[in-house]
Structure 1
Amino acid sequence: MRRSFLPALALLLAVPAAAAALKSQDLSRVFAAFAAPSGLLQGCGDVPEAVALAEELRDRALRIERYMESIEDRKAELAQAEQTLRERLAQLKSQKGGIRARRDTATEAVRDDIQRLVALYDQMKPAEAAAVLTNLPADFAAEILMRVRPETGARIIAAVEPRQAALLTAQMGARSVRKN
């Protein structure tokens, strides 16, 4: 019976202590109560061990209180840093959207320019187009030939010198292979 009595007594004392700890939201007040242990030394002021223990408890309580204050300061700093990061993230997302819009506009402008250039070559006589294309870089000329109408491209390649036509055809084939 004696063995079951001690755990029950400990549980009986621990439940109100735990409830009081959970009830108090500010733990620094709980530790502050121990910072001034005036009631602890009543009648024990002449016992040096009791005085030393009371001072040690007071010092620990003060350290814990300072530590709890530093935790609160850190929480505030973290909240501020998080808010700053959220604002910066919103700015970056906004800038990303603007960059994407400008890039899409630029890409669309390049496509329009290429379409106009292709239409121009479609309207040229094959011999004239061949003369111009042979003076362009091979990859650029191949790109134009890939985009003009097939019958126009065939006439232009036929008007190009055979060696240059072979080079342009190889560039066109290489372009097709890179796309896949």
Structure 2
Amino acid sequence: MRLKPRLLHLLIAAAGIMLAVKLGAVWHEAGIAFAQTPASQKPANPTPASETPAKAPAPGAAPAGTAAADAEPLNPAPPKAPPPRTYTDAEVKLLQELAKRRTELDQRADELSQRETLLKAAEQRVDEKIDQLKQMQATVDASLGKVDAQEDQRLNSLVSIYTNMKPKEAAPILSELDMPVLLQILTRMKDRTTSAIMAAMDPKKAQAITMALAERRQSSTTAGPTGDAAGAPANPQN
């Protein structure tokens, strides 16, 4: 009965020794495999700079930073610009002529623009003058219309006065009037009144008045049935 615990202890110890031997063999194989693995496939496990001592560069070797900069520059130099083009004398002359022509065209355009502006201003002034003349003409026409109306009214008043007078009394007064005024008065009278007044006048004066009335009526017939050449109405009939 006492042998069983000892045997059990021996078996446990043997099992521990065998396990340690197997673990050592596994660890050894793992180390060999890790050593044979490429650097790019090794797990990244950077060591802090404070724990890893910096290796001194070999004598005559360039610094690591300089080598990296030479291998792959961070700021590559820009491409060189192409050399400037050279022009021939004919091309230079042509370019100068084109530039001169462009300047002349620009000056011509400025002159045309200024002329157009001046023409527009002149047209505006002319239009304003035309409007002013139209207004003045309307004012003059209105004034002439008033004068004509007043003159017509005055002549009608004289006709009424001489008509109401006796022919022997009216004849001497009318004989002293100028022929245009006398004709305007006589043409506004009735033919009966005109005949009686002319019968009381001097024969030579009556003859002159007859000739003037004939010419006036002939001019009135040529001008139109609405009135004589001077605008006076035709002598009304009885």
Runs of 4+ in 1 over 4 A off after TM superposition: none
SS in 1 for 2:177: coil
Match of 2:236 in 1: none
Q: Taking every aligned residue pair, what percent have the same amino acid on both sides?
A: 27
Match of 1:44 in 2: 86
Report the RMSD for the aligned CA atoms in angstroms.
1.6
Match of 2:199 in 1: 158
Deviation string 1:110-140 (CA, Å, 9 cap, x unpaired) is 1111111111111111101011122223443
Larger Rg: 2
Q: Output the amino acid matched with 1:166.
A: Q
Q: 1:123 aligned to 2:164?
A: yes
| 1:168 aligned to which of 195, 201, 209 | 209
Residues 1-180 of structure 1 correspond to what in structure 2 (within 5 A)?
43-45=85-87, 47-179=88-220, 180=222
Structure number with higher helix proportion: 1
| CA-CA distance at 1:98 after TM superposition | 0.8
Larger RCO (CA under 8 A, 6+ residues apart): 1
1:126–1:159 CA contact under 8 A, matched in 2: yes
Aligned residues: 138
Consecutive unaligned residues of structure 2, counting only runs of 5 or more, are: 1-83, 223-238
Q: Output the amino acid matched with 1:153.
A: T
| CA-CA distance at 1:51 after TM superposition | 1.1
1:157–1:165 CA contact under 8 A, matched in 2: yes
Match of 2:79 in 1: none
In 1, distance between residues paired with 2:127 and 2:188? 47
**Cα distance, 1:142–1:98 mapped onto 2, change above 3 Å:** closer
SS in 1 for 2:199: helix
Consecutive unaligned residues of structure 1, counting only runs of 5 or more, are: 1-41
